[in-house]
Amino acid sequence: MIKLYDPCEPFRAYNRIEGRPREEELDDSLAAKIHDPLWMISRQFQFGELKGEDAGSAIFAKAAINTVRMSSFTGANGQKIPYSEDIPMEARVERLIPSIDLKQAVRFGKKFSKLLDEEGGGLPASQGYSVGMYQELLVRRFPFEVPEISDSDTAQLSASKARALSLQQASSFLRTMAGRAVNGRLLWEILNSDTSAIGAIVLAANQSATAEKFIQSKHKTAVQNAANRWVEYVKNELNLPENDQDDSWLSERLEYAFKTSIDEGDSSETELQATEYFQGHLDWYSFDVAKEKQNGAGAIDANIKKREVLTVIPAEASFAGMPNSRWWEMEDGSIDLGNLKASDTDIAKILVTQYALQYSNDWLAIPYDISTGSFVEVEGILVRDTFGQNFFVNAAHHEGESWNEWNMYALSVDTGEFAQDSFDKRVLLPPSTVKTIESEAIEEVKFIRDEMANMVWGIETRIPDGLGGGLDGYEAAKNLKEEFDRLIQEESAPLNLVLPATNPQAVESKASTYKPQLKYQLGNSVSENWIPFIAVHQNGSNREIHFQRASMPRIMDLFDAHAIRPRTPLLREGIDEDDKQNTPLYINEEEIPRAGVKLTGTYQRTRWYNGKIVSWYGRRKRTGRGEGSSGLRFDLVLENKR
């Protein structure tokens, strides 16, 4: 007898058994009224209850978890320091040294006077210290002064003073505080690097008091202690880095970069790097594994690498508003299941809906608390069901490096440009904040490509107003132009107006009626908040370029021609207070695409998990809105309308 076999796999088709109501409302359908017991048996068959394969429910689980923690932090300056959780990592990475505005200068100056009185009040009565005895002398030594432009000033210095005068609210504040308060900004410039510099205002023995030195020698200890406490107060208040080099901001890349190390507990380390952090919120996806751990020769240190076996009762994985997986279980009546509408492009909504309605009882959750800054690996999970059967669940990536593995939350490993991609299967929980309060932009710069002018522009759309806020960049440029116009009018106005004697019959005195139709113009101008960046070759290369900060000329009758300097701290890097450029500023070409870039500087505030309030000043990069045109042109022949 010959038996024939069909070599083709039979075609199988599946269809869901579900009610199809003809009414608009779904009340009757969701009520699940029983009209026929056969329908209930069909539902049981659809859920697989007649097979008995998933009849057992998980009642017990064990999970083996390995945990290691961050051990060091390395900023962009390359200095490696021990890792600490006293502040969030966002604050440690993003914090910059901001300019102390006038309001802060008043507050810090008042704080110094208060600390000095506290230290002086603790001295013996024989020292002769009285509260407020040095207040007027401190105001004279560290004053608030309104800048005044003199004839001996250079063009750049005059422009710097004119910028301060053009900030009208800040100028009014300066005039109000002049002679009334201690300027904490001037005090900080002296004491920020060395608190012993306060000795410059202390008198020597048998020395007479002057405007520069007035603290009596017997009060030297009190003023030194006050200076130490004051500097510590300012650093904590502004959450400042230790020095100018202790930050992670890379100006040529317009983003942050830093590294952290993981001590594996076996004399080896894993190095994590975040080379392109600019989003404003630090999470696991900001990191890559720069150097995989090596097989350490030492024994595992249990104090560093922690292995814990967790025994729990697993709970069903759910989210707020998800329908219950059990049949006949009462649900919240405020949830409208019939209003779940998703188009074919709403992939995320479709996935969540599919999971909630069909596969919710297939997923279980095992809660486990881990410390921030940890690198966690789940070795495996042992699950026991109601029938007493044990099932060992391996990790989703247990089989090897297959393209269809579950690699979500895994960190990529830097294996080289042409090497095969690799992943570290552990889960990273960085010490980042959950929510921050962000101020309005203090500085904002938009970088655009101007193809017609063949350059890049940094448009200062918002500049610091000197009082802790921001000012519209175009308005600030307009105010500065008006300030220069006012200075020119004051300079050109004669004291006595004398008209020259003329002969009306002379030919020279008769007005000429001839007017040329065309005129030549060397070039036009752009708003002063547009800072140009020109393409230059990188050192040692005749092909690669980067953008160097340049300047437009300011030409007027009052001063010699001089360069227009930026007003935001972001673009003023390498320029001193007198508008003298000490070092150039470069930006890599790839950092400014055709879409442009927008950079903002803001103050941020958060509450850390230990209850500490942390504030810092940082920057964030976003995508721009495309190319633009400045309208800059040279060698123009224009119609003479005069």
Same domain, 377 and 442: no
Q: Has residue 155 been placed in a domain?
A: no
Residues 616 and 604: their CA atoms lie apart, in Å, by: 5
What is the pLDDT at residue 5?
44
Residues 594 and 97: their CA atoms lie apart, in Å, by: 31
Same domain, 607 and 467: yes
Identify the band that residue 100 occupies on the pLDDT scale cut at 50, 70 and 90.
very high
What percent of the chain clears pLDDT 90, i.e. is strictly above it?
Answer: 37
Position 599, amino acid: L
Phi then psi dihedrals of residue 161, to 5 deg: -70, -35
pLDDT, one tens digit per residue, over 234-250 is 998 888 887 777 788 99
What is the pLDDT at residue 470?
93
Phi then psi dihedrals of residue 375, to 5 deg: -115, 115
Same domain, 454 and 372: no
What is the pLDDT at residue 605?
93
Q: pTM for this one?
A: 0.79
Strand ranges, E, within 106-235: none
Residues 545 and 309: their CA atoms lie apart, in Å, by: 56
Same domain, 427 and 307: yes
Helices (H) and strands (E) in the chain, counts: 11, 27
Q: Has residue 5 been placed in a domain?
A: no
Q: Has residue 46 been placed in a domain?
A: no
Half-sphere exposure of 257 (CA within 13 A, CB side): 13
Q: Give Cα 615 to chain centroid, integer Å.
A: 12
pLDDT, one tens digit per residue, over 309-335 is 989 998 888 777 777 766 666 776 666
Same domain, 202 and 93: no
Q: Which residue has the tokens 């998800």?
A: 322
What is the pLDDT at residue 304?
82
Same domain, 597 and 469: yes
Q: Name the 3-class secondary structure at 72.
A: strand
Residues 250 and 434: their CA atoms lie apart, in Å, by: 25
Q: Return the DSSP state at 203.
A: P
Percent composition of the chain: helix, strand, coil (DSSP 3-state, to 5): 25, 25, 50
CA 211, 213, 217, 218 dihedral sign is: positive
Q: 238, 254, 285: which is the final residue of a domain?
A: 238
Same domain, 456 and 379: no
For the chain, the domain total comes to 3
Same domain, 90 and 128: no
Residues β-bridged to residue 298: none
- Which structural domain range is residue 245 located in? 58-97+241-325+344-397+405-432
Q: Has residue 25 been placed in a domain?
A: no
Token couple for 581: 């450029």
Q: Has residue 14 been placed in a domain?
A: no
pLDDT, one tens digit per residue, over 599-621 is 999 999 999 988 889 999 999 99
Rg of the chain in Å (alpha carbons): 36
Q: Has residue 502 been placed in a domain?
A: no
What is the pLDDT at residue 491?
64
- Which region among 110-114, 401-405, 634-638 has the lowest average model confidence (pLDDT)? 401-405
Q: Has residue 634 been placed in a domain?
A: yes
What is the pLDDT at residue 104?
94
Considering only residues 183 and 409, tell me which one the structure prediction assigns the higher pLDDT: 183
Residues 354 and 15: their CA atoms lie apart, in Å, by: 16
Residue (of 473, 474, 442, 450) closest to 535 by Cα position: 450
Same domain, 609 and 623: yes
Q: At what angle do helices 155-166 and 168-177 cross, to 10 degrees?
A: 90
Same domain, 278 and 376: yes
For the chain, the residue count is: 642
Same domain, 381 and 454: no
Same domain, 449 and 416: no
Q: At what angle do helices 473-492 and 155-166 cross, to 10 degrees?
A: 120
For residues 466 and 102, the answer to whether their CB atoms sit within 8 Å is: yes
Q: Has residue 170 been placed in a domain?
A: no
Phi then psi dihedrals of residue 28, to 5 deg: -65, -40
